[in-house]
Amino acid sequence: MKKSDIYRKIKNILQKMLSLEGPVLEKLMPETDLIASLNLTSIDAMQLLVLIERDFEIFIDDEDIGKELIQNIDTIANKIIQIKCFCHILCPYSL
């Protein structure tokens, strides 16, 4: 899985979770501030992390959960890659 595939999957999760459409979805780039641009609440953030863990089959340590992690799609993707690579001897993800 390439990083662009991870971006796409995260974007799909956000789309379904927040019922995003058209221009809002199109403007959602890897570096877009999710909290500010989507008005994410703390409940939204926790729901997003639960969906990320489920859909990517990972576990995010409580100490890693925070505003910095859900800042944008890129920070989430990097954490997913970090966790997946830690769990595999050879990392199949392209950074």
Q: What is the pLDDT of residue 92?
A: 54
User: Average pLDDT by consecutive 10-residue portion of the chain (95 residues)?
Assistant: 93 95 90 94 94 94 86 95 72 51
Alpha helix stretches (DSSP H) within the chain: 3-18, 22-26, 34-38, 42-56, 73-86
Q: What is the pLDDT of residue 86?
A: 67
Residue whose C-alpha is closest to residue 2's, from 62, 58, 75, 81: 81
**Beta-carbon count within 10 A of 14 CB:** 23
What distance lies between CA 9 and its chain's CA centroid? 8
The pTM for the full model equals 0.86
Q: What is the pLDDT of residue 95?
A: 45
